[in-house]
Structure 1
Amino acid sequence: MALTGALLLTSAPVASADQVRDAQWPLTVYNAEKVWKISQGAGVTVAVVDSGVDSSQPDLTGQVLPGKDFTGAGDPHKDTDGHGTAMASIIGGHGHGVNDSAGVMGLAPKAKILPVKVSYKNTATWAAGIRYAVDQGASVINLSFGDSGGYPGSKGAEAIAYAQEHDVVLVSATGNDSGTVTYPAALPGVVAVSGVDKDLSFWSDSNTGKVTVAAPGVELAQVDPNTKSGYSVANGTSGASAYVSAIAALLRSKYPDLTAGQIINRLVKSASFLNNKGKTAPDKELGYGIARPGSALTMNIPKGSKEGPLAKASPSTSTESGAASAGNDNPSQAKEKKDSSSGGILLIAGIAAAVVVIGGIVFAVIRSRRNRGNGGPGDGGGIPPHGTGYPPQPPTGYQPYPNTPPNPGYPTPPGQSPPHPNPYAQQPPHQGQ
């Protein structure tokens, strides 16, 4: 079992831990030092449903809970693939050395990591893993895998519905083959995450369609137990998903009284199309915009309904994904009132009735076959067999980490923000977050 290829397409080793910290560009873009004065994710458990988490890595010591292995190997802290450890470091790494100044610093460095070792191709294992994570008290679950068979009516869909019923935020990668959003990200109520690069532009390999938000997904520094240095750089919506899971942990720590739906409401309504002119929400590439932890933590956003803004449906009767619903929390509420006479109708243009299970299953089968035929997951471009680890070659034009981090920052909003209640029609009040 391995969880690397489909959602972590390229990687290269990094020479030293201090170079890793220097090159963690998402921390610069997110102004993490300022964010951490508000929240560091303390008191929150994030389940990493993945290939396991190597708890012996110096940037993760003390962060990793006992967890459970659903693959039969017996040890959730053994990660021969390295993918789960990488995701855990992006979420909850704390660095090491003098003042923890070296190695990977996660965006939620005080959140605890619950390792749930699964086989992504075996739906029963990750479905059982999700239920286990819920029962262990995880309030955020990161699912950095796709094309997993978690279509409506499957055990995976039922497990995700179980988590939602128990007030858990579920975050999933959209996929990396420039196709459409894969399952489980395509399931109702799941936060589906695409990737952006250092310029905050859409990463062209990200899958598109029913995207919720975007996050950094290119040249991400991460812990890698399979390299000599212990680190690597990689591209993928896996890492983007991990960053959004970290933001959810920051929010759950800061706002413990909010439901999972209300946390997602803050996440969605604080997102922005920074550096992406001409986008309107929901956008097929960036969803409701680039997720921003500082703004999500500080903006004046009403709690909204307990269910939150994402459409939800029975896992056995719908194929709709994490697009905003037509309820009061919908960022495009005014338009939806014209398009629908019922607040329960999903925000999916052109759909006049609910889609039945058979349609979802046929879509999943067609999608799977298409991927096998074009180098997507399941054939070459998919997740590699157990033991192959990261692809050995770096991306074309790859350069080693620089000694100083890039600093794309956020531009100053042009002119005065219009007096409009829709947060997507405004530039954010706090830049650099």
Structure 2
Amino acid sequence: MKFDVSNKVWPVSQGENVIVAVIDGGVSANHQDLVGQVLPGADFTGEQSDGRIDKDGHGTAMASLIAAHGHGSQDGIIGLAPKAKILPIRINLGGGVDVVSAQDNEVPDAIRFAVDHGAKVINMSFNSGSGQAAREAIKYAIDKDVVLVAGAGNLGNHSAPVGYPAAVPGVMAVGAVDKNGSVWEKSNRGPELTLVAPGVEIFSAGYKTTTEYRTANGTSDATAYVSAIAALVRSKYPELSAGQVINRLIKSAVMPEGQKQPNDSYGYGIASAQKALAANPAVDNGPKENPLLSRPESQRQPEGSSASPQPSAPADGSTAGGNQAAAPKSESDGGIPVFVWAIVGMLAVVVVGGVIVLARRNKGGGSGQPPYGGGGGGGAPQQQFPQYPPQQPYGAPQPPQQPQPPYGGQQPPQQPYPPRPGDGGNPYR
């Protein structure tokens, strides 16, 4: 049995009337799967833009996981909340010693801008410092009833703690799991971890052309999925407070068999869109306060820390995050077929009932090589994965069979992806 996202999640919510701020390196608004989805935002890098440009691809990828709508009738990528809108807020990611101070100032300003411009969810797929200005901006967002979601970081190896801003009380800290539901080896761990979501072999939009796609590993992608689920819930239940939305995601998460809840590796478990959207009067009638505000920090940084923001999930899975900057490391897919984990996509979530998005559909256009050394494009071959948890079969979800409503006249791809052996046409039918 396959999990059918078009029948189990999207009929309930597609993220309508919710703005998700993507604080990142900018978003390419003219990608064929994002046309009409990206609002004018802001640029805190010193360049004159409204955030709708991207020079490294990270922000565009995150936006597509959240709110891409595909193109044509059966092509491209669909995000988990395809009717949410993206507010792009551009900051410097990475950088060097000469711009550390400026970068430190960008994150608080970016958070405040997002809040003041209508964002109900803020996606922060990066790690940075934990200075007082950032903490005050996070408090400002929480006081204004905004859900904040951040990547735990990619330093992993069972020893790296959850990075900032994810580790700040009140922020949902997200780790990554692979297609078997196992915690990704580079996903940072610690008591601050809230949830995990798919973060290995994720397929998303590229930035170099309007038809480019790429693959990635990292907690950034997992963070985008959780932000999308929060958008789905906020759309379906607009009367709920941010705290109640967070509680829905926490209480609906699925913990692998034999794991204690919560724990430092999975947090409260694997996020599930379907379960988060289900009726839950106990949560809805419960406390409105953010349940993560009382969460202790295991390794608070000194006030005024000036660690510069680092993407928590570069598309090649390079290490970056925590309290230190790690030099990017190119890491190709190593010959692993690009079967769109993104669709397989919420693999474990699919497994547990519903978190899958980013459906790569049929031909899906594309040109050029994916950035960051990622594997090339290609149709997603039909694939059945081992059962996880036991006794719960799952597989790739099916995208909508009917054409999507027009989103601004996106054009069909210039060059269709060459089918891989065994594709047999649309693998999601």
TM-score above 0.5: yes
Q: Structure 1 residue 188: deviation in Å? A: 0.3
In structure 1, distance between residues paired with 2:120 and 2:39: 14
1:270 to 211, 233, 252: 252
Distance 1:228 1:96, change over 3 A: closer
1:135 to 110, 113, 116: 116
Q: Which stretch of structure 1 is more off in the superposition, 112-121 or 299-308? A: 299-308
Distance 1:160 1:381, change over 3 A: closer
Counterpart position of 1:216: 198
Alignment size in residue pairs = 332
Q: Structure 1 residue 77: deviation in Å? A: 1.1
1:48 to 4, 12, 22: 22
In structure 1, distance between residues paired with 2:247 and 2:133: 27
1:117 to 86, 90, 93: 90
**Mapping 1:26-45, distance limit 5 Å:** 31-45=5-19
Tell me, what secondary structure is at the counterpart of 2:70? strand
Taking structure 1 as the reference length, what is the TM-score of the superposition?
0.70
Tell me, what secondary structure is at the counterpart of 2:59? helix
Q: C-alpha offsets along residues 313-354 of structure 1, whole Å, 9 cap, x if unaligned?
A: 8xxxxxx35xxxxxxxxxxxxxxxxxxxxxxxxxx8xxxxxx
Distance 1:109 1:413, change over 3 A: same
Distance 1:61 1:282, change over 3 A: same
> Which amino acid letter does the alignment assign opposite residue 57 of structure 1?
H
1:258 to 217, 237, 240: 240
Tell me, what secondary structure is at the counterpart of 2:126? coil
Counterpart position of 1:283: 263
> Which amino acid letter does the alignment assign opposite residue 403 of structure 1?
A
Q: Structure 1 residue 382: deviation in Å? A: 3.1
> Is the CA contact 2:57–2:206 (under 8 Å) kept in the aligned structure 1?
yes
> Is the CA contact 2:145–2:242 (under 8 Å) kept in the aligned structure 1?
yes
Q: Does 1:190 align with 2:165?
A: no
Counterpart position of 1:175: 153
Q: Structure 1 residue 157: deviation in Å? A: 1.3
Q: Structure 1 residue 308: deviation in Å? A: 3.4
Q: Structure 1 residue 376: deviation in Å? A: 5.1
Q: Structure 1 residue 300: deviation in Å? A: 2.5
Q: For structure 1, which runs of at least 5 residues remain unmatched after alignment?
A: 1-27, 314-319, 322-347, 349-354, 369-373, 385-390, 415-426
Q: Structure 1 residue 309: deviation in Å? A: 2.2
Q: C-alpha offsets along residues 161-208 of structure 1, whole Å, 9 cap, x if unaligned?
A: 110010000000000111110000000010000001111221111000
In structure 1, distance between residues paired with 2:7 and 2:381: 17
Counterpart position of 1:361: 302
Tell me, what secondary structure is at the counterpart of 1:361? coil
Counterpart position of 1:399: 337
Q: Structure 1 residue 404: deviation in Å? A: 2.2
Q: C-alpha offsets along residues 24-54 of structure 1, whole Å, 9 cap, x if unaligned?
A: xxxx768354200100000000000000111
Q: Does 1:297 align with 2:277?
A: yes
> Is the CA contact 2:18–2:235 (under 8 Å) kept in the aligned structure 1?
yes
Q: Structure 1 residue 283: deviation in Å? A: 1.1
> Which amino acid letter does the alignment assign opposite residue 30 of structure 2?
S
> Is the CA contact 1:119–1:126 (under 8 Å) kept in the aligned structure 2?
no
Counterpart position of 1:247: 229
> Which amino acid letter does the alignment assign opposite residue 234 of structure 1?
A
**Mapping 1:98-117, distance limit 5 Å:** 98=73, 101-117=74-90
In structure 2, distance between residues paired with 1:37 and 1:252: 15
Counterpart position of 1:80: 55
Q: C-alpha offsets along residues 383-413 of structure 1, whole Å, 9 cap, x if unaligned?
A: 65xxxxxx66513343343632434486577
Q: For structure 2, which runs of at least 5 residues remain unmatched after alignment?
A: 94-99, 310-317, 340-378, 399-429
Distance 1:263 1:203, change over 3 A: same
Tell me, what secondary structure is at the counterpart of 1:36? coil
In structure 1, distance between residues paired with 2:107 and 2:87: 14
Counterpart position of 1:90: 65
Counterpart position of 1:7: none
Distance 1:71 1:30, change over 3 A: farther
> Is the CA contact 1:173–1:185 (under 8 Å) kept in the aligned structure 2?
yes
In structure 2, distance between residues paired with 1:44 and 1:375: 31
Counterpart position of 1:18: none
> Which amino acid letter does the alignment assign opposite residue 112 of structure 2?
R
Distance 1:69 1:201, change over 3 A: same
> Is the CA contact 1:29–1:410 (under 8 Å) kept in the aligned structure 2?
no
In structure 2, distance between residues paired with 1:88 and 1:236: 15
Counterpart position of 1:419: none
In structure 2, distance between residues paired with 1:379 and 1:299: 39
Please identify which structure carries the higher helix content: 1
